[in-house]
Amino acid sequence: MNLPMEREGECHSCGECCQTVNMTVVRDVTLQQHGNMQELQRYLSYRGIQVVGSDEKRNQLYYSMDVPCSELTSDNRCRVHGKKEKPLICQRFPESKEDVEDIKNCGFRFTPVLPGQSIRG
């Protein structure tokens, strides 16, 4: 059973979620283009891109590029926080436990809401 998840905690400005650009691409088309996963990984590695996940069922591949955000200050603050210039995805982050599962020090965590419990607003 897939229980709804509740987000708890808060951002403590570790800056980890601002260090990479993550992308999702169509798995079968991409592997067809490159021949196989090894070839794809070689091609991407020359450009500093890593394949960090593969989901056959969803037909998706996940890429990550080490490209720190230009709006991240040296003390890990977001220069555009609270402003309309802050990207929507950053305003919403993290939306799911998958968003933070590779970020050990994130101040947010997700816990399942058991039947009979309500999600706090």
Site residues for ligand SF4 per CB under 6 A: 11-18, 69, 71-72, 78, 80, 86-87, 90, 93, 103, 106-108
Nearer to ligand SF4, 29 or 52 (CB): 52
Q: How far is the CB of 108 from ligand SF4 (least distance, A)?
A: 6
Query: How many residues are given for the chain?
Result: 121
Contact 17, 106 (CB under 8 A): yes
Nearer to ligand SF4, 73 or 117 (CB): 73
Q: How far is the CB of 26 from ligand SF4 (least distance, A)?
A: 25
Nearer to ligand SF4, 49 or 78 (CB): 78
Whole-number Å distance between alpha carbons of 22 and 24: 7
The identity of residue 50, as a single letter, is Q
Single out the residue of 81, 94, 116, 84 nearest to residue 3, CA to CA. 116
